[in-house]
């Protein structure tokens, strides 16, 4: 696949060089079109609706475990998702991972699903088409995440569960293009590289949701595509650890202060602690793993997040000798 991509890149540049020499005005128009397309591509996803679903056989509010936790599906419009090539053809869809969130007071899961804005606009103009699109979206999430969802769902009054930044980060989940494409070749514009990558992605087998027969379907089937951007590497946050001791210099507890300037809610944080180590992760933002200087009692460890200071404070009592 990579040599084919490299050949495509070389061919594009040869065509552009020839066009610049023989048709300067056409070359300028092409560059302007590329700039306009790049601007559309960089536009963020637009939240449109949130579906609250649940696993088949589970009842909302009766269980705090994964089986009873609600699943929120953020449905958004994104210009970088291609529009269907024809009314009868499959509808491209871009989806992020299903993430479990330790929400307050109850846990939940969330997944982001993006369509071309034109697809959602057509669905919003017709309640029957919207119902069918929602049905296919639920079936798509089922098959993609190996779940069995109830056909009962709720349309939430808000348009986005979580933050726009986190949704955008989750949707950008594809590895970067091969490094050698930028070596021994001219540097392509953003839009040209993305179009070349999209052309390659279209050769992948689509994920089709066959909820109804093609002849009866009023809304096209769904075809999953993949993002063309590399996921952001999480950084190590700034932190300070202090060992509190008693009058006899015996350790009483560990106090850890972690600066998380890009976090707005504790629900974004995943904190895990054992007797001798601690791990905190904020997807696509931060990751910190520490070996603790003292054995601690993980059952009585507490954590508090200061939204104003964007500061996570962890207090871990030192384990008493057994």
pLDDT digits over 138-173, tens only? 989 988 888 888 878 899 999 999 888 888 888 876
Residue finishing a domain among 141, 172, 203? 172
pLDDT level of residue 227 (50, 70, 90 thresholds): low
Q: Determine phi and psi for 32, rounding to 5 degrees.
A: -65, -40
164 shares a domain with 249:
no
On whether residue 215 sits in a domain, the answer given is no
What value, to the nearest 5°, has the Cα angle with vertex 260 and ends 254 and 263? 130
Whole-number mean pLDDT of the chain?
76
132 shares a domain with 53:
yes
Q: Contact 184/6 with Cβ under 8 angstroms?
A: no
On whether residue 192 sits in a domain, the answer given is no
158 shares a domain with 50:
yes
Residue finishing a domain among 134, 150, 172? 172
On whether residue 154 sits in a domain, the answer given is yes
pTM as predicted: 0.50
On whether residue 77 sits in a domain, the answer given is yes
On whether residue 203 sits in a domain, the answer given is no
On whether residue 2 sits in a domain, the answer given is no
- Can you give the CATH number for the domain in which 247 is found? 2.60.40.790
What are the structure tokens assigned to 191, written together? 């839009």
CA distances from 242 to 39, 146, 289, 290, 294 (A): 48, 44, 16, 13, 11
164 shares a domain with 262:
no
153 shares a domain with 55:
yes
Element (H, E) at 253: strand 251-259
Residue 62, SS3 per DSSP = coil
252 shares a domain with 147:
no
156 shares a domain with 79:
yes
Q: Contact 225/201 with Cβ under 8 angstroms?
A: yes
165 shares a domain with 245:
no
On whether residue 5 sits in a domain, the answer given is no
How many domains does one find in the chain? Answer: 2
164 shares a domain with 87:
yes
Q: Contact 256/217 with Cβ under 8 angstroms?
A: no
What are the structure tokens assigned to 92, written together? 């491209």
- Centroid of chain to Cα 255: 32
Residue finishing a domain among 172, 199, 215? 172
Q: Contact 257/311 with Cβ under 8 angstroms?
A: yes
Which pLDDT tens digit goes with each residue over 62-103? Answer: 333 445 689 999 999 998 888 888 777 788 888 989 988 875
Q: Contact 72/161 with Cβ under 8 angstroms?
A: yes
Which pLDDT tens digit goes with each residue over 279-320? Answer: 999 888 899 999 999 999 988 999 888 988 999 999 999 998
How far apart (Å, rounded) are the C-alpha atoms in residues 49 and 116?
14
On whether residue 261 sits in a domain, the answer given is yes
How far apart (Å, rounded) are the C-alpha atoms in residues 228 and 239?
33
139 shares a domain with 55:
yes
Element (H, E) at 291: strand 286-291
246 shares a domain with 163:
no
Range of the domain at 249: 239-317
Closest among 2, 11, 1 to 178, alpha carbons compared: 2
Least confident segment among 93-102, 108-117, 120-129, 204-213: 204-213
């Amino acid at each position: 696949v990579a040599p084919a991509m490299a050949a495509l890149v070389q061919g594009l540049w040869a065509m552009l060089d020839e066009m610049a020499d023989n048709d300067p005005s056409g070359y300028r128009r092409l560059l302007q079109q590329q700039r306009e397309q790049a601007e559309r591509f960089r536009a963020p996803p637009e939240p449109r609706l949130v579906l609250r679903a649940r696993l088949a056989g589970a009842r909302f509010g009766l269980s705090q475990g994964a089986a009873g936790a609600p699943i929120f599906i953020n449905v958004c419009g994104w210009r970088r998702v291609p529009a269907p090539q024809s009314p009868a053809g499959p509808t491209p869809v871009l989806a992020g991972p299903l993430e479990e969130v330790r929400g307050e007071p109850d846990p939940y899961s969330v997944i982001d699903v993006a369509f071309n804005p034109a697809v959602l606009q057509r669905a919003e103009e017709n309640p029957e088409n919207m119902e069918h699109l929602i049905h296919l979206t639920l079936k798509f999430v089922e098959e993609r995440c190996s779940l069995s969802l109830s056909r009962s769902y709720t349309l939430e009054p808000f348009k986005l569960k979580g933050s726009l930044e986190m949704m955008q980060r989750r949707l950008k989940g594809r590895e970067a293009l091969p490094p050698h494409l930028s070596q021994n070749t001219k540097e392509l514009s953003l839009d040209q590289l993305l179009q070349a990558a999209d052309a390659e992605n279209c050769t992948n087998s689509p994920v089709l949701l066959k909820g109804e027969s093609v002849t009866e379907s009023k809304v096209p089937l769904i075809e999953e595509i993949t993002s063309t951007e590399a996921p952001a590497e999480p950084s190590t946050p700034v932190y300070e650890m202090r060992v509190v001791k008693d009058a006899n210099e015996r350790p009483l507890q560990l106090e850890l202060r972690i600066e998380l300037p890009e976090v707005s809610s504790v629900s974004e944080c995943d904190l895990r602690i054992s007797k001798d180590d601690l791990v905190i992760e904020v997807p696509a933002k931060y990751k910190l793993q520490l070996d603790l200087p003292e054995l601690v009692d993980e059952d009585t460890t507490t954590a508090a997040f200061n939204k104003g200071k964007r500061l996570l404070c962890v207090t871990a009592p030192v384990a008493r000798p057994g």
